[in-house]
């Protein structure tokens, strides 16, 4: 199926939609189960379908341009050079190359045989797709005419590997300058696993909501209940209330964005008592979407925004209207 026909099919899903309010339907990386992630193609698909929020990630080149990418480098499973060869692992860090170099790579087709290809077999390849800049995403949103959709943008900073990204101060300085230039300060959420960047945003742009990303399960948690973490800017649960929501409240956050497998009814209720919104990631199965909605979360981040819309509608959620737009 062509990209145009695919976008038309997604647009048809929104034909019965009503104006959105309350529940936040977020397209993770633009909806990477459907189209190449974090690209103008995937964001066009999400806008055409109808979502409340585009979720995306940011890196910064060595000439200070904010690009949209989940990794802090050109991903070996996604990026092909002009010679048609995928970049060698572990990838090429954005901080080491200029935008002009980044734009030489094609990120529209998953590398065959990779784990990524196994996880997303239905993603539609779009050869020739380039890594977009954040400014290009803003331009696409304006082109769509969707005046309500927001962007949930993640700063990709790792305190354990500072060599792979700008320091938090530089990252936030460049981001806030671009938001001001593009007049998007009132249409974004800034999210991060590295809470240092969120602290800087709260200090320098208090009107911008901050979403505290957390992962507790798995081999590399960014927050734990029993010891300090390099990721939490000193706001560890062990010294700030004993729970993750309490620590985020102490840090001045407004949104808790946990791995969905970490979420319990008790933690959702506690977060709400503290005045926090709860926005779990990344929820792709109908039964998990239904369970999260039944817990009373404030929105969900999904690789399958089409499926999220479908399940949310069954629960009585008013769906956002689609705004058809081409990449």
* Rounded average pLDDT over 319-326: 97
SS3 content of the chain, % helix, strand, coil (to 5): 35, 15, 50
Strands 92-93 and 24-28: unpaired
Q: How far apart are CA 114 and CA 285, in angstroms?
A: 22
pLDDT digits (tens, 9 = 90+) for 218-228: 889 999 999 99
pTM: 0.93
pLDDT tens digits, residue range 193-220? 999 999 999 999 999 999 999 999 888 9
pLDDT digits (tens, 9 = 90+) for 150-196: 999 999 999 999 999 999 999 999 999 999 999 999 999 999 999 99
DSSP 8-state class, residue 174? H
Task: Answer yes or no: is pLDDT of 306 > 90.
Answer: yes
Q: State the average pLDDT for the chain.
A: 94
Give alpha helix (H) positions in 19-167: 40-49, 99-102, 115-119, 134-144
Are residues 136 and 40 in contact, defined by beta-carbon separation less than 8 angstroms? yes
**DSSP state at residue 106:** B
- CA–CA dist 195, 212 (Å, integer): 7
Question: For residue 35, what pLDDT band results from cuts at 50, 70 and 90?
Answer: very high
pLDDT value of residue 21: 45
Question: What number is the average pLDDT over the span 35-61?
Answer: 98
The confidence score (pLDDT) of residue 219 equals: 85
Is residue 284 within 8 Å of residue 300, measured between CB atoms?
Answer: no
Residue 317 CA to residue 307 CA, distance in Å, equals: 13
In this predicted structure, the answer to whether residue 8 has a pLDDT above a threshold of 80 is: no
Which residues, at least 6 apart from 177, have a Cβ–Cβ distance to it below 8 Å?
none
**pLDDT score for 276:** 98
Grade residue 16 by pLDDT with cuts at 50, 70 and 90.
very low
The per-residue pLDDT for range 101-152, each reduced to its tens digit, is 999 999 999 999 999 999 999 999 999 999 999 999 999 999 999 999 999 9
pLDDT in tens, 241-259: 999 999 999 999 999 999 9
CA 197 to chain centre: 15
Structural domains of the chain, ranges and CATH numbers in brackets: 3-13+21-314 (3.20.20.190)
């Amino acid at each position: 199926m062509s990209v145009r026909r695919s976008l038309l099919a997604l647009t048809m899903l929104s034909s019965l939609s009503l104006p959105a309010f309350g529940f936040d339907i977020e397209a993770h990386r633009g909806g990477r189960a459907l189209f190449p992630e974090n690209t103008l193609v995937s964001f066009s698909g999400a806008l055409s379908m109808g979502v409340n929020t585009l979720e995306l990630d940011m890196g910064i080149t060595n000439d200070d341009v904010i690009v949209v990418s989940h990794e802090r480098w050109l991903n070996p499973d996604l990026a092909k050079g002009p010679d048609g060869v995928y970049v060698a692992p572990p990838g090429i860090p954005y901080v080491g190359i200029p935008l002009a170099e980044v734009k030489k790579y094609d990120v529209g087709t998953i590398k065959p045989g990779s784990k990524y290809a196994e996880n997303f077999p239905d993603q539609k390849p779009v050869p020739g797709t380039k890594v977009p800049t954040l400014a290009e995403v803003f331009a696409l949103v304006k082109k769509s005419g969707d005046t309500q959709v927001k962007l949930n943008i993640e700063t990709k900073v790792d305190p354990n590997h500072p060599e792979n990204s700008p320091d938090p101060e530089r990252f936030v300085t460049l981001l806030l300058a671009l938001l001001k230039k593009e007049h998007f300060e009132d249409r974004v959420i800034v999210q991060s696993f590295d809470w240092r960047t969120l602290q800087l945003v709260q200090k320098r742009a208090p009107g911008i909501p901050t979403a505290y990303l957390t992962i507790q399960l798995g081999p590399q948690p960014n927050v734990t209940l029993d010891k300090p973490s390099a990721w939490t800017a000193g706001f560890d649960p062990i010294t700030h209330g004993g729970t993750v929501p309490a620590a985020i409240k102490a840090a001045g956050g407004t949104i808790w964005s946990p791995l969905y497998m970490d979420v319990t009814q008790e933690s959702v209720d506690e977060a709400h008592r503290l005045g926090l919104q709860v926005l779990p990631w990344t929820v792709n199965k109908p039964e998990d979407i239904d369970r999260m909605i039944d817990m009373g979360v404030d929105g969900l981040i999904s690789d399958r925004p089409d499926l999220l819309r479908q399940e949310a509608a069954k629960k009585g959620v008013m769906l956002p209207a689609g705004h058809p737009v081409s990449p």
